[in-house]
Structure 1
Amino acid sequence: MDRIKQAEEALTKTKETMNQRYRLGYHIMAPANWINDPNGLVQFNGEYHVFYQHHPYNENWGPMHWGHVKSKDLVHWEHLPVALAPGDVCDVDGCFSGSAVDNDGELTLIYTGHHYTDKENDVFFQNQNIAVSRDGVTFEKIGENPVIAKPPADSAHHFRDPKVWKHNDTWYMILGNATKEKVGRVILYRSADLRKWEYVGVLAQSDGTLGFMWECPDFFELDGKYVLMISPQGIEADGDDYNNLFQTGYLVGDYDYDTNEFVHGAFTELDHGHDFYAVQTLLDSKGRRIAIGWMDMWEANMPTKTDGWCGALTLPREVTLGSNNKILMNPVEEVSLLRESEHHVCKNKSISGDYLVKTKEDLLEVKAVFELTNTTASAVGLKIRGLNDEETVITYHLEQQKLILDCSKSGKVEDGVRNATLEANGLLTLRIFIDRSSIEVFANDGQATMTSRIYPGEERLGVELFAYNGDNNSEVLVQELTYWNLKDIWK
């Protein structure tokens, strides 16, 4: 408790001098300093809880704590005290990522303890631990820790990020792992009581092309199929795919609990923006599978560090299964609670070249629908405009069937462009969420999503639609352009 108190005092001190210029209006952030992976997504006593990897003493990554927020509606979040602080025998150098379950009224956090044996050379070992709470605010690490002291004998030292769920009367845990030959994989354990765990075996493993370590695994049933979400480290870029330092994606297939056999298809990236990693999901009381990711990327440019904070989480997204076992993500319906004013700009209007709608608001939801069947344009799209040629551009190239997000004129000068394949089939629907330093694009009901941090330095000018054929203006029918001013939940 002394370490929790010290962490809270450090956050309060940093908040007093924090620069607010890029602070987000409706996303989960720590009160100050560093955050990364979302952890422990769970419903408990009628409220949604989200934990996150947190360094409360510095704007850079450091000894990991668990930060904590809760919400009744997935939109209005409340900061709670730091839930876990490292320094005990089971987690001397960090409380790394993990998950949470409601165990008959006891909120249980399952997390990785990190231990350096040679910090300078990043030599470490990892184990799995448990902390419990009755009130959902104050947590106590159990005396039996670590509940899993070491990985299987054929493992490397990478052994982290437990995701726990219950099937029938048995608890299951998957962990990100690597073999001694540096092959990424996910391994499975089971338990009757969350304390004593039995190793079952390998759930899935790289074929040699999917990296040296699989972080942050999540495994769940969705519409009769089983989905394994993973964040592999070490995949080489391949055209428009795998362009970030590390990736997040999924495998879909069939699973047999009796044999631990998971027969699945190919790995597919989940989001094609710059800043999406370490996704975790929960199944809520409405039967929805809801995902939240870290809205940043390792070794990326993070200008908010000079402001006293760094890192944020994405909007909560409902995960569904589309055709050909494609995972779709769309904002949960509750995000409509953010809307303060609605502006219907145009309906069934032909535009040629550029069409600017002026607004200085910096918290926006935008919906634009383009009819593509009769257009003479080869490219259509939307710009979030600022003064002095500052802009974030979303372009759809009809012939290439490619959606492009260009942030190179909004703070990502180097490596500012990302691409996603999208078969529009005559209609392009863009639903875009703009926050002070982020953009989330959902195209054609989640057929493509692109998430990136942006860092504008100028005042907002407005939203601009466009239609071009090469260097020439062209016409396109805009079925709808609507935007909403969104509220700042932190004010």
Structure 2
Amino acid sequence: MTDMDQTAITASTADTVRTLLVDLPVNATLHIWLKAVSADRQGSLSFTSARGKFGEVLVTNADENEFRIFHVFGGGAIELSYDTAETSVSVAYWFTPADVLETGITVIHTNPVNAAPDLPGGYHFRPPFGWMNDPNGFGRFGGRPHLFYQHYSHGLRWNTMHWGHAVSSDYLRWRHLPIFLFPSEEIAARPDKRGGAFSGSAIPLPDGPGIRVFFTEQVQDRQPEQQIQLTATSGDLIMAGQADVILPHRPENQGLTLDFRDPYVFKGPDGLWKMLLGSQSDEGGVILLYETKDHTAAGGWTYVGKLSVERRYKTTATECPCLLPLDGLATDPKTRWALIFGLMTSEDPDTRRKNLTMAAVGWFDGRSFVKEYEQELDFGTDNYAFQAFMDGDTAIGIGWLANWADAGPTIDFPTAMTLPRRILLSGGVLRTPPIGPAESLRGQMLDRTRLAAGQTVKLDSGAAEILFELNDAGTPFELELDHPDVRLGVFVDDVGLWIRHEVEGAGASPDYVARGARPKRLRIFLDYGSIEVFADDGRWVGTKRIDGFAPIRSARLTAPSGSVANATVWALRL
């Protein structure tokens, strides 16, 4: 169990009774998930103040935790008590609705099975508890960046999907908010991995404050459609309201499988709302395009056609598509757009890397996309389900720092989001450098001379940034990173830019390589469980998850004499 902030646990006369003590402000709201230990006995949690017991929540489900809301209007010291012989409590947190966007939630309790890892100095976004995968609804709403994400609260394994939620001022320092979007009661009743509220996107409400979200509802074995598209609104940006079905079935006569998911909604060059969806057909993975003349995007969606077809890499479904203008106004026909999408089950036969993410650059007229060129978004592949939006005139995106090659529903898998990145066109190529505020993570400078001289630089923790510049682009080098469990490093040879990731006894590692890359300047971000490589202002980017949370202990750079112009190592912190 993890207890945070003002919470304390007090002893009880009964060995099986657990009491959580919390000091609440006035008008506090508690969110609690609990379940009965056995099907024949009701579970309960009681609320007591100095004046005695004043409330109780009850549950009968012994299969899965049930969600309960409790309001405490008076504030003060409160005891939450339950008998562990009858009741299991998974998660409890409180917040005050009036200022939760400013203060976030305060977690009272989590179980060991869903507790977040304790990673001092770690700077990547992680949920406060439970499982996380795809980013959803990434955007700026009410003046602040918001991040929603695929989430299951009650363990570190994928299960019934909800939307978690956080808010920030700089895309780096996040305040956790209440769970935003819930699956149907039928799906949430059992932890049987049948579906839930899958990935989607969000747009501002056009006629007032708040947002409209779009998401896929998955129900395994539902007939005739397992995946359909829903929408819901939120005026307060805290919780979504009732969801309505907007696309109850796939387009007909298109040769599509049951895959039909991940709605991404954006304003097209013709002023209409557009929606992209990922699917699979007998041709390969496809991206479907819809549009509506409804200025609220609440309904009236009609199918336009297949925007893109992917026949390479043994791809089944195309997932998590997004499309955004890069070098001009969306309404300008000359403006280039970036179409970004994941390739589910794909495998590059040359490198054995799986689940690739592609970025196509071209022109979008509202109904068709003409590709100029295409490149991989990330040669490390652990930047999956990438979602981006236009923050003013700047494209900002973020991805899941993992992919389904080594994650799955049967293993504990606490993961993170990538560093947020800008998406820009420069020098005829698509670049995805880290956002400018990433420099604010720099704390103590650890080195300015030793790394460039070929000496070993010790790292204080797993959180560091290594920068170095070569006198000549493409000069071979090897950056060795001392990790207790993985042979880890970054190097350049005649083939290109590599991330070395080799685990003893695990068999041959895929080749994480950007072929033909001849970088001159590199920024390498290290954190507990990850490495992110940005070469030449994001011209080549590689993201790799490292199993476990053992920190990288030191770095050593080997390069031809006189070839390193400068090198700096920073310790990072939020």
Taking the aligned partners of 1:464 and 1:176, their CA distance within structure 2 comes to 43
TM-score (norm 2): 0.73
Taking the aligned partners of 2:133 and 2:68, their CA distance within structure 1 comes to 19
* CA spacing shift, 1:288–1:410, aligned 2, 3 Å: farther
Please report how far the alpha carbon of residue 210 of structure 1 lies from its aligned counterpart in structure 2 after TM superposition: 6.5
Is residue 42 from structure 1 mapped to residue 136 from structure 2 by the alignment?
A: no
Classify the secondary structure of the residue corresponding to 2:514: strand
For 1:358, the equivalent position in structure 2 comes to 458
Is residue 295 from structure 1 mapped to residue 401 from structure 2 by the alignment?
A: yes
Please report how far the alpha carbon of residue 386 of structure 1 lies from its aligned counterpart in structure 2 after TM superposition: 4.2
Q: Tell me the alpha carbon deviations over residues 23-74 of structure 1, each in whole angstroms, 9 at most, x when there is no partner.
A: 8811111112211111100111111001111111221111111111110111
Classify the secondary structure of the residue corresponding to 2:117: coil
Is residue 436 from structure 1 mapped to residue 528 from structure 2 by the alignment?
A: yes
| Matched residue type, 1:216 | C
* CA spacing shift, 1:386–1:256, aligned 2, 3 Å: closer
For 1:337, the equivalent position in structure 2 comes to 440
Taking the aligned partners of 1:283 and 1:246, their CA distance within structure 2 comes to 25
For 1:381, the equivalent position in structure 2 comes to 478
* CA spacing shift, 1:360–1:207, aligned 2, 3 Å: closer
The answer as to whether partners of 1:280 and 1:291 remain within 8 angstroms in 2 is yes
Q: Tell me the alpha carbon deviations over residues 357-410 of structure 1, each in whole angstroms, 9 at most, x when there is no partner.
A: 22333211110112237x9xx7313122246x965210111x33x111112159
For 1:113, the equivalent position in structure 2 comes to 217
TM-score (norm 1): 0.84
Aligned counterpart for 2:201 among listed residues 93, 99, 121: 99
Taking the aligned partners of 1:302 and 1:128, their CA distance within structure 2 comes to 24
For 1:284, the equivalent position in structure 2 comes to 391
1:120-135 equivalent positions in 2, closer than 5 A: 125-135=226-236
CA RMSD of aligned residues (A): 3.2
Q: Tell me the alpha carbon deviations over residues 318-347 of structure 1, each in whole angstroms, 9 at most, x when there is no partner.
A: 0111334x3211010011121122245129
Taking the aligned partners of 2:346 and 2:431, their CA distance within structure 1 comes to 22
For 2:57, the equivalent position in structure 1 comes to none
* CA spacing shift, 1:157–1:393, aligned 2, 3 Å: same
1:176-191 equivalent positions in 2, closer than 5 A: 176-179=278-281, 181=282, 183-191=284-292
| Matched residue type, 1:478 | V
The answer as to whether partners of 1:36 and 1:54 remain within 8 angstroms in 2 is yes
- Structure with greater strand share of residues: 1
Q: Tell me the alpha carbon deviations over residues 172-213 of structure 1, each in whole angstroms, 9 at most, x when there is no partner.
A: 11111222x262111111121322212222212224666221
* CA spacing shift, 1:360–1:455, aligned 2, 3 Å: farther
* CA spacing shift, 1:149–1:386, aligned 2, 3 Å: closer
| Matched residue type, 2:124 | H
Q: Tell me the alpha carbon deviations over residues 141-198 of structure 1, each in whole angstroms, 9 at most, x when there is no partner.
A: 24xx21111110122211100000123542111111222x262111111121322212
The answer as to whether partners of 2:114 and 2:154 remain within 8 angstroms in 1 is no
Aligned length: 457
Q: Tell me the alpha carbon deviations over residues 240-293 of structure 1, each in whole angstroms, 9 at most, x when there is no partner.
A: 4xx333111122212222xx22211454211011412110001113x2101101
For 2:569, the equivalent position in structure 1 comes to 483
| Matched residue type, 1:9 | A
> Which ranges in structure 1 are unaligned for 5 or more consecutive residues?
468-473
Classify the secondary structure of the residue corresponding to 2:563: strand
Aligned counterpart for 1:31 among listed residues 116, 128, 142: 128
* CA spacing shift, 1:77–1:303, aligned 2, 3 Å: same
> Which ranges in structure 2 are unaligned for 5 or more consecutive residues?
1-30, 32-65, 70-88, 94-106, 189-193, 328-334
Aligned counterpart for 1:415 among listed residues 495, 502, 509: 509
Please report how far the alpha carbon of residue 238 of structure 1 lies from its aligned counterpart in structure 2 after TM superposition: 3.2
Classify the secondary structure of the residue corresponding to 1:327: strand
Is residue 249 from structure 1 mapped to residue 358 from structure 2 by the alignment?
A: yes
Is residue 238 from structure 1 mapped to residue 330 from structure 2 by the alignment?
A: no
The answer as to whether partners of 2:187 and 2:195 remain within 8 angstroms in 1 is no
The answer as to whether partners of 1:164 and 1:172 remain within 8 angstroms in 2 is yes
Aligned counterpart for 1:311 among listed residues 411, 415, 418: 415
Taking the aligned partners of 1:339 and 1:172, their CA distance within structure 2 comes to 40
The answer as to whether partners of 1:53 and 1:67 remain within 8 angstroms in 2 is yes
Taking the aligned partners of 1:106 and 1:413, their CA distance within structure 2 comes to 50
When Rg is computed on C-alpha atoms for both structures, the one with the higher figure is 2
* CA spacing shift, 1:295–1:32, aligned 2, 3 Å: same
| Matched residue type, 1:420 | A
For 1:81, the equivalent position in structure 2 comes to 178
| Matched residue type, 1:140 | G
Classify the secondary structure of the residue corresponding to 1:83: coil
Identity %, equivalent residues: 28
Aligned counterpart for 1:171 among listed residues 268, 273, 298: 273
Taking the aligned partners of 2:516 and 2:174, their CA distance within structure 1 comes to 33
The answer as to whether partners of 1:250 and 1:269 remain within 8 angstroms in 2 is yes
